[in-house]
Structure 1
């Protein structure tokens, strides 16, 4: 009887200990919030660690949307697509350096990822055609005819955070959020990750549990011993579209316990970041959404000439700007701050297709765009021959109408061509560091791989930009948010399974 009583007490103690061990999610961007919600939906509990004062990260800044292949939205719009098409486009964009298994998982779960977000209230009932895609599949929020615009990334993060806050209000044990809290160490014992050390204004503490890393990339890690210098020092001359929080902390700490890195030198330079006339030399730029070109925006150089396919791959278009453009002098919209830059052009039809409220944010609030009454006025501002700009636009009208081939291989011509005699909006854009394709190597279960034995590190998962392998040499627009949702959910599911297995073993 005494033995049975002792056994019952020990079993009960172990059960409480096991059940109290929440799953640790580090990073409050889309991957982290997706993992957290998936864990809670599966019956688990989460402690979310966020280094900044609030959740969101770079996910909240995303403007073009999330890819989905074979979705209800595409069907409603009469678009035919499939996961195999998305696989093909993703591999092509990444020069087949991608981990094909991860790409196939990404594409197969893409439609469900869109539904996952729609189920928390995100209106993803419009799609956009972005560079490198064979069909319009980048889902975003329809722009209102008037009022404030609703950026896709911001709305997605708002809805997910609202859902998690509601869960916390109903049962505080299910979701705990620690903001302004920095992970300083990943704790590994006997080959297994058993927790992390964190630091905040209350000091340092250790939190026990298995870990999902969703800490983002390293596009702003310009420190002397930083990852940008180690793997992409030649790119330090470029500005960045990333917040200062993109320091690669998760990559560094996981590397310190033996995690394998992959594709670290694959750092994406986005071709179009706005040059702010108020501060042309700013090192942090505001992204000129790829959706602008998806709605018909053209690019010309400082001589008034087109130089490439506006809907080509990001790395292609960046290369063309660097090859065919030059610095823009202060005579035009205060210049490009010494960076080789292009000029983005739009007409009223392009603006309406993109969404007037969203465009007004760029043009009226940020003052990136300037309106010119016609091509002659634009040419005068550029200080180039009026005939050159006029011929550039007239030539594109011929291409748009199918009367001649585009010399740059463009085959899709969205919305409307720009006419020389109509009002034209122009903004200076320049290439900027945008995304790091490399990171921690993961398998199809989002488990982090060990550099020592090429096997998964028990208790450690990763999702989003902290991981590598999905995008290969170059990322498609819309695949970043998709990766966050798909692999965030997979990481959450498998971390929960591991946690439940550990509970059973402990009992």
Structure 2
């Protein structure tokens, strides 16, 4: 068995998504060394696919836009969304460090000067990248990962000993010696097994939303939702959870698996098992949802679990005659007009509409009604009533309080896309404490083992707020990196 690296004090970080890169950069900034292990051919993970942005409470950007927010309010919204099943100590840390997390990303060059309102939030706080007037859109997750990797590459170029990045290298075991984690065992793309030594290990290996095998975590904890499509890459198999479990790590909230209410149905492949996420930011900028009967059925800015439940209860499958249909799945129709498109960002919308062809344009509500095969008066009435609610002339029967940008007029062009609920995020995972230490079944930290991001549980409770996933990765990634580095330094000093 080959020995890849044995240079303590070194922190081994497993996973190249946002949590892993945040941990790595924190370690380097503190003067430590990192071996970053990534199973795929490049860093990024599901973090690179994130489209709605990152939450921050009490940021400079909010202040400039006149948005009054506070960590206490973010904490309250997070606990409310999670039905108070959350680990309250972790939520407090998440909220208190949220503004610092946004600043951390701005310091590596990410432009987060636009703010969106996502479902379940009491105020706009989801920071994302302003859409350019022309050219290619810049998805928040992709840009964040690109900038972090560029900063790490710069540091590596200046000091090659700072970090070593091993891609296409899969962790297959965690190594312990006398009760302490001292490294990991890996397998490279050519099948060679190796050991990587470190004074501590940070797990940032993501969730298990794609672990559909007969003995997988989805089958064990979410058998009732296996039929749903997923927005996740095939790499989201929960390997970190499974390997840490063999060490006696405590798992919490594993049955709490989030179904995102809006994933696009591709007209070219309506039955595809992997869907492209219809960003919550679309609804945050004014998109509304109707069912196949042409009627609204819920608050478009409600919690994700609420909106999913409303679709499953009040939105029947859509026939193939309308934009290819929904392949027998309960589905909604997302509607936008020119004003909401401009607010969301035309380049980003054009990617959905022109490149992916998810949206189709209708000249007015009459044309849309004909395509849906419903009486034109139904959709016209739906839009007219929403305009009255938007103008404050009547209350929304579904309790919607915030009405972004503009209402859609029956006489103007309307853009429509079919959306369905899809498996999106696993709230459960490894139990950690406020120092990101992994906790065992006896309630004690597993010495030398830390974790951050979707591999962990406790922060989100029963339901995650949009924008809190990237926030969790940065906040607890940095904490895990800092804790792991301190453990490495302390271990090194004790040997002197």
The TM-score range, normalised by the shorter chain, is: over 0.9
Note if 1:164 corresponds to 2:138. no
Q: What CA distance in whole angstroms lies between the structure 2 residues aligned with 1:18 and 1:106? A: 34
Aligned twin of 2:181: 193
Q: What CA distance in whole angstroms lies between the structure 1 residues aligned with 2:323 and 2:157? A: 50
Aligned twin of 2:329: 339
Q: What CA distance in whole angstroms lies between the structure 2 residues aligned with 1:168 and 1:87? A: 37
1:168 Cα shift?
1.0
Structural RMSD (CA): 0.9
Q: What CA distance in whole angstroms lies between the structure 2 residues aligned with 1:198 and 1:506? A: 27
Note if 1:135 corresponds to 2:131. no
Aligned twin of 1:384: 374
The SS at the match of 2:175 is strand
Aligned twin of 2:287: 297
Match of 2:21 among 21, 33, 56: 33
Aligned twin of 1:244: 234
Q: What CA distance in whole angstroms lies between the structure 1 residues aligned with 2:189 and 2:257? A: 34
1:336-393 deviation digits (Å, cap 9, x = unpaired): 0111000000000000000000000000000000000000000000001101011000
The SS at the match of 2:242 is helix
Any conservation in 2 of the 1:21–1:208 contact (CA below 8 Å)? Answer: no
Q: What CA distance in whole angstroms lies between the structure 2 residues aligned with 1:104 and 1:223? A: 36
Any conservation in 2 of the 1:446–1:491 contact (CA below 8 Å)? Answer: yes
* Counterpart mapping for 1:347-426 below 5 A: 347-426=337-416
1:292-349 deviation digits (Å, cap 9, x = unpaired): 0000000000000000000000000000000001110110000001110000000000
Aligned twin of 2:473: 484
Q: What CA distance in whole angstroms lies between the structure 2 residues aligned with 1:22 and 1:179? A: 18
Any conservation in 2 of the 1:217–1:248 contact (CA below 8 Å)? Answer: yes
Q: Which ranges of structure 2 fall in alignment gaps of 5 or more residues?
A: none
1:19 Cα shift?
5.4
Aligned twin of 2:223: 233
Q: What CA distance in whole angstroms lies between the structure 1 residues aligned with 2:110 and 2:183? A: 33
Q: What CA distance in whole angstroms lies between the structure 1 residues aligned with 2:71 and 2:179? A: 37
Aligned twin of 1:461: 450
1:404-452 deviation digits (Å, cap 9, x = unpaired): 110000000000000000000000000000000000000000000011x
1:190 Cα shift?
2.1
Any conservation in 1 of the 2:8–2:488 contact (CA below 8 Å)? Answer: no
Show structure 1 runs of 4+ deviating over 4 A.
none
1:265-304 deviation digits (Å, cap 9, x = unpaired): 0000000000000100000000000000000000000000
Q: TM-score w.r.t. structure 1 length?
A: 0.96
Aligned twin of 1:99: 87
Q: What CA distance in whole angstroms lies between the structure 2 residues aligned with 1:19 and 1:61? A: 34
Q: What CA distance in whole angstroms lies between the structure 2 residues aligned with 1:233 and 1:29? A: 27
1:24-59 deviation digits (Å, cap 9, x = unpaired): 000000000000000000000000000000000000
Match of 1:265 among 245, 255, 259: 255
Aligned twin of 1:472: 461
Task: Report which of the two structures shows the higher radius of gyration computed on alpha carbons.
Answer: 1
Q: What CA distance in whole angstroms lies between the structure 1 residues aligned with 2:265 and 2:7? A: 52
* Counterpart mapping for 1:6-21 below 5 A: 20-21=8-9
How many residues end up aligned between the 2 structures? Answer: 490
Match of 1:66 among 41, 48, 54: 54
The SS at the match of 2:22 is helix
Q: What CA distance in whole angstroms lies between the structure 1 residues aligned with 2:382 and 2:271? A: 29
Q: What CA distance in whole angstroms lies between the structure 1 residues aligned with 2:313 and 2:209? A: 23
Q: What CA distance in whole angstroms lies between the structure 1 residues aligned with 2:261 and 2:359? A: 17
The SS at the match of 2:184 is strand
Aligned twin of 1:448: 438
Aligned twin of 1:51: 39
1:201 Cα shift?
3.1
Note if 1:152 corresponds to 2:140. yes
The SS at the match of 1:326 is coil
User: Kindly tell me: are residues 422 and 87 of structure 1, through their superposed partners in 2, closer, same or farther at Cα, counting changes over 3 Å?
Assistant: same
Aligned twin of 1:14: none
The SS at the match of 2:20 is helix
The SS at the match of 1:327 is coil
Q: What CA distance in whole angstroms lies between the structure 1 residues aligned with 2:34 and 2:450? A: 14
The SS at the match of 1:176 is strand
